[in-house]
Structure 1
Amino acid sequence: MATVTEGHARSQGKGAAGANKALASALKESGCSYASLALRVNDLGHRQGIDSNYDKTSVTRWLQGQQPRGETPGLIATVLSERLGRAVSPADLGFQRDQQRPVEGRALVYDEDVAEALHTLAELGSTDISRRSLLGPAPFVAGALANPQREWLLWLLENQNSDRPMRVSDGGPVEQVHAMIALFDQMDNHYGGAGVRTSIVHYLATEVVPMLQRRSTPPPEQRLLYAAAARLAAMAGWSSYDAAEYGLAQRYMTQALRLCAESRDRVLGGQILAGLSHLATNLGRPDEGVSLARAGIATAKGAGSPLGLMRLHAMSARGHAAQGNAARASEALRQAERQLDASRGADQESPWVRFLDDHYLQAEAALCFRDLGLAAQAERTASDSVKANADRRRRQAISRSVLATAHLQQNRLDEAIGTATEALDTLATVHSERSVQALRDFRRRLDSRRHEPLVHEFVRRSQAVLGAVA
């Protein structure tokens, strides 16, 4: 473990500018005490292998202008981002810009300089694969979702007349990257993202990012390459989610959105925002999920992709349903259905949304009905989804879990356990945290009936896949 002591910090001396007014202002606004800031910084540092012993005296020194050493400015920024509910960087807090601060912190930020964004993405991938410095799980930081959303919407305002995406030409690096995306997609659909995650990250960091860093690529091809790289970064995010690496999922999707701006592909931008929305809602921040879905709708509107808009309205519905707002969830689902009806078929859509269909909307609607307690509707919709998705194991596993919950909500325990057991069997071949989350949701609903033999046996058997009961 690296060690940060008060002596190390003092060796930096006071900043030339004197008192750190930016840090003082952020602390006051956040309501965070000196002691709680120091304690939280120590806690985050320990997760990353840094043995620090900061206290309220350390915070006083920082306020007096002392520049914390090493990775500490990034940790302070993470803590205050959480407290403020928005992303702040070390520079925002009056600390000197330090390119050596942890990549986990830099990857949460939508960097205006695309060269820096590429450097961050390559470093994130390299660190992720080697795990030399990412010793603990990177945390999901809900407060950091505001920065990429705001920066993207500002870009959108400034580029309202963005060009339509160009066709991928035959041959060349762009076609090769698209072929790899198709291969990763196929593996992901059959086995879940966790099983293919390392391959996606390695290919992105060691092959695709270096392509973008070359200056000899013609601008039209460069745009297409940025779009493909953004899609791969989003895939790295989804596969990280499937591996229960929630913080990494957030970071890859944030960087995907930044690369997407270089491609000027609004359909893809909307889909990346849909991914961030899904992540936020499923990790307990449906308010952020709705906000990100709205940003995606504003992005994709007028971009010629009804299927893309269908997914975004479905994500909005998911967020509203998780908050118990039945009226808004129902309206969002109606909007999603309208967009589905407006589509002229997958062949007329962007390649980024051709996987979307009525079965996708069924599966998402079933989750909405589950969260709203509409058991009969959830049962009907989830049952249709199970039948329609025999070749998509992850989606089928999720829909089976929703169907089991619908049975349970109607007090049909035998059917609920039978269906949940089928979902559990599916998870033996699908490495997907999204599927696991859906079945854990069902298992939590069994708490009041654990004394019944059928429930006791299911809980015992499920522990190998779902983990111990909390």
Structure 2
Amino acid sequence: MTNGAAPGTRHRGSATNQALAAALKESGCSYASLALRVNELGRHQGHSSNYDKASVTRWLQGGQPRGTTPELIAAVLSHRLGRPVAPAELGFIPDRQRPVVARALAYREDVAETLHTLAELGSTDISRRSLLGAVPFVAGALVTPQREWLLWLVENQCATGPAAGDPAAAADAGRIEQVRAAISMFDEMDNRFGGGQVRASIVLYLSTEVVPMLQRRSVPAGERRQLFTAAAKLAAMAGWSSYDNAEYGLAQRYMTQALRLCAEGGDKVLGGQILAGLSHLATNLGQPQAGVELARVGVATAKNTGSPLGLMRLHAMAARGYAALDEPREAARALRSADAALDASRGAEAESEWVRFLDHHYLAAEAALCFRDLGSAAQAERAADESVRANGDRRRRQAISRSVLATAHLQQNRLDEAIGTADAALTALSGVHSERSVQALRDFRTRLRPHRGEPMVRDFELRSRTLLGAAA
């Protein structure tokens, strides 16, 4: 975003919407720049618009944008201002059906408010009363949760026992066992079939079963803490599955609330993993600097928890952000730290249950993405090939890693191999509801544009239409 307009033309005339005019002036954002970024952000999140300088003038004169545009405007200005700004603060009439959209971005001190927000968010999400999944990811709203979590971390840096992140210390209370069994079932379904298949079930169970348990005052303190940790895990899973289903605004909101619940449960290992999820989300949505910052907060969280695997993932997330920023030295340093953390692990059984799924194959998959973004095709090929060979029973990971492998082949001018590998990725996606996997293949197909004169490329584009849609 640029400050392209001249001082005399940026904010012409008197504005009926003084709040929006003040935010534009403070941010240094021109009319044309605001319109451009709103269009870009909308397209990135599945909405088409063609706003221009005249559109911004209408908003300043009191016009109310339709649909999710007020949230998109707020997201753009939040990023420019470096703090979250709600549509209502910009003079837009709030949608009475979905005030929870704004509240779910906040990390609140009163955990009772967090529980109420989660219950309402889940209810609205399930019923789709307000097309909740259309709300945008708001990069500026990531600042407060990081700050509040860091304050909590400082206050609890000497915590021990379950508060230090040892879920294995849980008592065998019936409620706890029930929730943990549900988490295990949802996790298995997500790994096998993708987030789109299981997302609604996670949200329903969290909002109608687990949150009401925590709202009861009769639950003993020790069991209550464990329930908060389990609820945090479920909220994080709701966020991750929303992300996997390309519902980015929902993903951010569930993960933010998960972080607050995690503080109540006192589990730093899980807290680090929630921050890793937010980092992944931010980097993949074009905010790699925020992704790096979130990963670094996660490293500070997990470094003294006795969980090398958790640290490994966080260093890998930092590497992903640095690679997207085209900072190869920092990316290499972060990957070396991830390798060192992996070497320090004594195996999955010695780790928290929240990170036992992590191993050197996971790191290979993330490293492949780093090398792809840095243009290191040979390294990307080696890492992606290792991930493909190791994750035969994880079709989502197979599809993503095969897409990266296909790109590595393409970057080395091996078109035949690239197309063959991409075809295998299409096959791996059969029966998997994962928009992340679909997007990975679309990214590869976009890279094929310079080769569209080749018959094999045209044939691949035709074969992929059913799953990926028509090529742009």
Matched, 1:457 2:454: no
How far 1:165 moved relative to its partner?
3.3
Pick closer, same or farther for the CA change 1:22–1:215 going to 2, 3 Å.
Answer: farther
Pick closer, same or farther for the CA change 1:39–1:297 going to 2, 3 Å.
Answer: closer
CA distance in 2, matches of 1:172, 1:425: 42
Matched, 1:132 2:129: yes
CA contact under 8 A between 2:75 and 2:139: conserved in structure 1? no
Matched, 1:118 2:118: no
Q: Which residue number corresponds to residue 11 of structure 2?
A: none
SS class of match (2:134): coil
1:310 corresponds to which of 305, 309, 312: 312
Deviations 1:263-289, CA, capped at 9 Å, x for gaps = 111111110000000011111111111
CA contact under 8 A between 1:449 and 1:455: conserved in structure 2? yes
Deviations 1:85-132, CA, capped at 9 Å, x for gaps = 321358988999999862111111111211111111111111111011
Matched, 1:338 2:340: yes
SS class of match (1:365): helix
- Show the 5 A alignment for 1:23-422: 26-31=23-28, 78=75, 80-88=77-85, 102-134=99-131, 137-162=134-159, 163-166=163-166, 167-422=169-424
CA distance in 2, matches of 1:57, 1:371: 40
How far 1:426 moved relative to its partner?
1.0
Q: Which residue number corresponds to residue 439 of structure 1?
A: 441
Deviations 1:330-387, CA, capped at 9 Å, x for gaps = 1111000000000111111111101101110011111111111111111111111111
CA contact under 8 A between 1:39 and 1:55: conserved in structure 2? no
Q: Which residue number corresponds to residue 12 of structure 1?
A: none
Q: In structure 2, what residue type is equivalent to 1:110?
A: Y
CA contact under 8 A between 1:184 and 1:200: conserved in structure 2? yes
Deviations 1:138-163, CA, capped at 9 Å, x for gaps = 11111211121122112212222233
Q: Which residue number corresponds to residue 10 of structure 1?
A: none
CA contact under 8 A between 1:74 and 1:101: conserved in structure 2? no
CA distance in 2, matches of 1:291, 1:55: 32
Q: In structure 1, what residue type is equivalent to 2:191?
A: N
Structure 2 unaligned blocks of 5 or more? 1-16, 48-54
CA contact under 8 A between 1:34 and 1:60: conserved in structure 2? no
How far 1:430 moved relative to its partner?
1.3
How far 1:21 moved relative to its partner?
10
CA contact under 8 A between 2:71 and 2:136: conserved in structure 1? no
Q: In structure 2, what residue type is equivalent to 1:325?
A: E
How far 1:39 moved relative to its partner?
12
Say which is worse superposed, 88-97 or 213-222, in terms of deviation.
Answer: 88-97
Q: In structure 1, what residue type is equivalent to 2:101?
A: E
CA distance in 1, matches of 2:328, 2:183: 37
CA distance in 2, matches of 1:40, 1:294: 28
How far 1:28 moved relative to its partner?
3.4
Q: Which residue number corresponds to residue 14 of structure 2?
A: none
2:426 corresponds to which of 408, 424, 427: 424
CA contact under 8 A between 1:38 and 1:56: conserved in structure 2? no
Q: Which residue number corresponds to residue 5 of structure 1?
A: none
The aligned length equals: 436
How far 1:431 moved relative to its partner?
1.1
Structure 1 unaligned blocks of 5 or more? 1-19, 48-53, 63-70
Pick closer, same or farther for the CA change 1:136–1:330 going to 2, 3 Å.
Answer: closer
SS class of match (1:196): helix
Pick closer, same or farther for the CA change 1:136–1:212 going to 2, 3 Å.
Answer: closer
So what's the TM-score if we normalise by structure 2? 0.84
CA contact under 8 A between 1:317 and 1:329: conserved in structure 2? yes
How far 1:193 moved relative to its partner?
1.1
Q: In structure 2, what residue type is equivalent to 1:238?
A: W
CA distance in 2, matches of 1:242, 1:199: 14
Q: In structure 2, what residue type is equivalent to 1:373?
A: G
Identity of aligned residues (%): 72
Say which is worse superposed, 74-83 or 419-428, in terms of deviation.
Answer: 74-83
Deviations 1:283-331, CA, capped at 9 Å, x for gaps = 1111111111011011111111100000000000111111221111111
CA distance in 1, matches of 2:291, 2:36: 30
Q: In structure 2, what residue type is equivalent to 1:29?
A: E
So what's the TM-score if we normalise by structure 1? 0.85
CA distance in 2, matches of 1:449, 1:58: 43
How far 1:31 moved relative to its partner?
3.1
CA distance in 2, matches of 1:113, 1:97: 24
How far 1:390 moved relative to its partner?
0.7
Q: In structure 2, what residue type is equivalent to 1:121?
A: L
CA distance in 2, matches of 1:76, 1:319: 25
SS class of match (1:110): coil
Q: Which residue number corresponds to residue 11 of structure 1?
A: none
Pick closer, same or farther for the CA change 1:114–1:459 going to 2, 3 Å.
Answer: same
CA distance in 2, matches of 1:453, 1:23: 52
